[in-house]
Amino acid sequence: MSYNCLNILKWTEAQLKYQHDVSLKQATPQELHEALGTAVMMAISDNWNKSRKTRMPERKAYYFSAEYLIGRLVYSNLYNLGILDEMKELFAQQGVDLACLEEIEDDALGNGGLGRLSACFLDSAASCNLPLSGYGLRYRFGLFKQTFDSNGSQVEAADDWTKFGDPWSYRRYNHTVKVHFPDHTVLAVPYDVPVIGYGTNNINTLRLWQCEAESELDFNAFNNQDYLRALDQKNKAEDITRVLYPNDSTWEGKRLRIKQQYVLSSASLQDMLRVYKLAHGDDLSHFADYYAIQLNDTHPAMSIPELIRLLMAEGMDFEQAFSVAQKTFSYTNHTVMGEALEKWPLDLLRSVVPEISDIICRIDEKIRREHPGLFIIQNDIAHMANLSIYVGSYINGVAEIHSQILKDDVFRDWYKEFPDRFQNKTNGITPRRWLGLCNPELTQLISDKIGGDFLKDLGRLSELKPMIDDELVNQFNAVKHQKKEQLCKVIAQHEGIQLNPDFIFDVQVKRLHEYKRQLLNALSIVDIYFRLKDGSLTDFHPTVYLFGAKSAPGYIRAKAIIRYINRIAKMINNDPDVNDKLKVVFVQNYNCSYAEHIIPAADISEQISPAGTEASGTGNMKLMLNGAVTLGTMDGANVEIVKEAGMENNYIFGATVEQINAAKSSYYARGIYDTNPRLHRAIDTLVDGTVPCDNDQIELYHALLDGTSWHMADHYYLLLDYESYLQAKLRANRDYADRQAFGRKCLENIASAGKFSSDRTIHQYAEEIWHIKPTQY
Ligand code: 26W
């Protein structure tokens, strides 16, 4: 288990010497990162090979996901290997501060929650010695990088993440497969990323496919015409994995996206069939005995018809292939938002993947025959979620309340027909990245108290409960202050804004979406600002409101909300009347690495979606684990957070699912606006020139108060929940003044966070869905 750090240092030096002819101290952070990464890859190769060659277990699981939001790998890999501190020390002795690698950009092959969840799951499976491999796509450009212009508008830039190389993967050209489309055939070339477990020798694999042309250039082409045509073929192939779709929560029916999904599906299944045949021969009827595949939402759902097609091509009949597929697949749903459910027009599907659409039609005929009332295809549109429930063993939601909504509402008819298929798997987060790595100070404090390596058994955090006393609270408060000081430095450097660590840090970090209600947060801040100015709010502890969020580039309203918040921030931060009380910061380019700085510094965690809209949330868990109290609704995993940590230790507000459902039919947002003068005044700042106004803000204003042709006014109930939100927010603010009582709440949350380790989640998938057991070489 022990790695020789001196060797890694020597190999890093050698690598730098022969590649760049520089010394450790002369190397740029990028050169150092590549050399160190290469050295670590050498150091782990033996364990990786042994893990791969482990005797074929009874059943292995495969995670199929279009997104892996991995973050920065260098620190987490060293951390999981147990050598981060020692390597830092060794480099420091050579005059090199490994903190310089903070400049290395994230591996951001995902949008938000769904992508980050797959990364947490891989970490947990490797750490728990569970045989889980990941399959995904190696996008040339990951999630765009975000800046704000002088108007406060989001500006996107391409994320060329491999520009300085990618030391954390190996290209395995010998395992290249071909994927066929009617008009061309492409190569899917695998890149293998090691998934290094924590506190184990086990190293799993994430295999990412990159599309390339079958023949780079046709060298028989001798005239210019042919030369350009050959290049066209190359571009057409590479286009498929050129870019991650930056769309979160709204679905678009795009040809290129079908191609991406099909490449992920077909390449991964061909790869699995190759390995199966090597181990078990040509009889494919036992495929499902050895393989379980988890579909991360419906993005890889074409794997279902593709497996059936591949099995039939090997001589199986349709019914038998169907039955193998059904035993192999399970599907996780990540959203109840109708606009995010994938529905492909059949003619579009047929033009890109004709054989796949034929098989989907056969599956549709079968279900209509055997289960009248249910369908896969309706009005020539294929519903991928329906397909995934029908040809699968289990379907699960990602928090208790979400799984209940799936049964009661979204997939009601399916639940009636197949009740045993419905499960819940409440999400989790890896405590290694989201505590050990990002908050070593708090980790140390906890381990001084409860001892041992609780990061492998997060349930042990509950041992803290009887130990919470004044002294521990003081120690916790000191750590929190330290993390705020550190964050202040990062924000000064990245945003050019000076913050005071004695302020309350109230944090909302997540993708920008109307349903997440960043606008509700903003309106309450504007209200508080006016109250502070007119002197009606006196009992207020100085607070910085921190936002971090990317908007889908085409999501006009979300972008208008970003602009509005930036304008609010500018007004407030430049007003000397409130300067010692209020700050608003919208950080640019919120990503995993930024999260690792923000989350440990947060006092208050804003989780404010209307009940019934956020499937789970995972940021809420990260913030809880780092000792923030939740200011939230009874939605997603918030429900389970307060069940674990107690209502009294959090700030819960707003209508419940039942109350919203009851209010729906007679909801009149303008009535609330007319009778709440302070809210009225806050909403008016969208349009009255208090901050610069624009057409998109006017549109936001009308969407709130008048509705549109497609949605009623205030579709996400900002006004309904407003007063209850503001009161909870102000109560949390007042409570903060009692540093003992507030710190106690924070510690109660930490001590109750054990359930939210993704180790717990992955064990539940392993036992209740995949039926796999831990194996170790
Ligand atoms: C096809 C376009 C598209 C892309 C992504 C539609 C929908 C999505 C995802 C469903 C969005 C997503 O990331 N969902 C989040 O998944 C997390 C992990 O389960 C949950 O914690 C979040 O509540 C959920 O919004």
The alpha-carbon radius of gyration of the chain (Å, integer) is 26
Q: Is residue 220 very low, low, confident or very high in pLDDT (cuts 50, 70, 90)?
A: low
Asked about 618 being catalytic, the answer comes back as: yes
Q: Which whole number is the average pLDDT over 570-586? A: 98
What's the CA-to-centroid distance between 335 and ligand 1, angstroms?
Answer: 6
**Distant-in-sequence contacts of 494-499, Cβ < 8 A, 24+ apart:** 494/587, 494/588, 494/594, 495/585, 495/587, 495/588, 497/573, 497/583, 497/585, 499/544, 499/583, 499/585
- Catalytic residue status for 511: yes
Q: Which of 69, 114, 258 to mutate to test the pocket of ligand 1 (most atoms within 8 A of CB)?
A: 114
Helix axes 113-127 and 758-765, enclosed angle (nearest 10): 80
Q: Which atom of ligand 1 is nearest to the CA of 341?
A: 6
- The verdict on the CB of residue 612 being under 6 Å from ligand 1 is no
117 lines ligand 1 (CB under 6 A): yes
pLDDT of residue 208: 98
Residue type, 120: C
622 is catalytic: yes
Share of the chain above pLDDT 90, in %: 95
User: CA 711 to CA 692: how far, in whole Å?
Assistant: 26
Q: Compute, in angstroms, the gap from residue 279 CA to the centroid of ligand 1.
A: 36
Instruction: Give the nearest ligand 1 atom to 67 CA.
Output: 5
Please report which confidence band the pLDDT of residue 55 belongs to, taking 50, 70 and 90 as the band edges: low
pLDDT score, position 260 = 98
Q: What is the pLDDT of residues 363-400, one digit of tens each?
A: 999 999 999 999 999 999 999 999 999 999 999 999 99
Q: Which residue has the tokens 């699995």?
A: 272
- Catalytic residue status for 432: no
Provide the whole-model pTM: 0.98
Separation of alpha carbons 373 and 355, rounded Å: 25
pLDDT digits (tens, 9 = 90+) for 490-527: 999 999 999 999 999 999 999 999 999 999 999 999 99
* Binding site membership of 615 for ligand 1 (Cβ less than 6 Å): yes
pLDDT at residue number 230 = 77
pLDDT per residue over 233-290, tens digit each?
899 999 999 999 999 878 999 999 999 999 999 999 999 999 999 999 999 999 999 9
Give the residue, out of 116, 251, 296, 334, with the most ligand 1 atoms within 8 A of its beta carbon, to mutate for a pocket test. 334
**What's the gap in Å between 248 CA and the centre of ligand 1?**
7
Q: Determine the residue type at 162.
A: T
484 is catalytic: no
The string of pLDDT tens digits covering residues 157-210 is 999 999 999 999 999 999 999 999 999 999 999 999 999 999 999 999 999 999
Q: Is the CB of 424 under 6 A from ligand 1?
A: no
- The residue among 623, 656, 651, 639 whose CA lies nearest residue 735 is 651
CA–centroid distance, residue 774 to ligand 1 (Å): 28
Q: Active-site residue 50, yes or no?
A: no
Beta-bridge partners for 509: 548
pLDDT bucket at 57, cuts 50 / 70 / 90: low
Nearest Cα neighbor of 729 from 583, 565, 605, 579 is 605
Q: How far is the CA of 109 from the centre of ligand 1 (A)?
A: 14
pLDDT band at 738; cut points 50, 70, 90: very high
Q: What is the mean pLDDT of the chain?
A: 97
pLDDT > 90? residue 418 = yes
Q: Is 194 in the pocket of ligand 1 (CB under 6 A)?
A: no
The two most distant CA atoms of the chain are separated, in Å, by 82
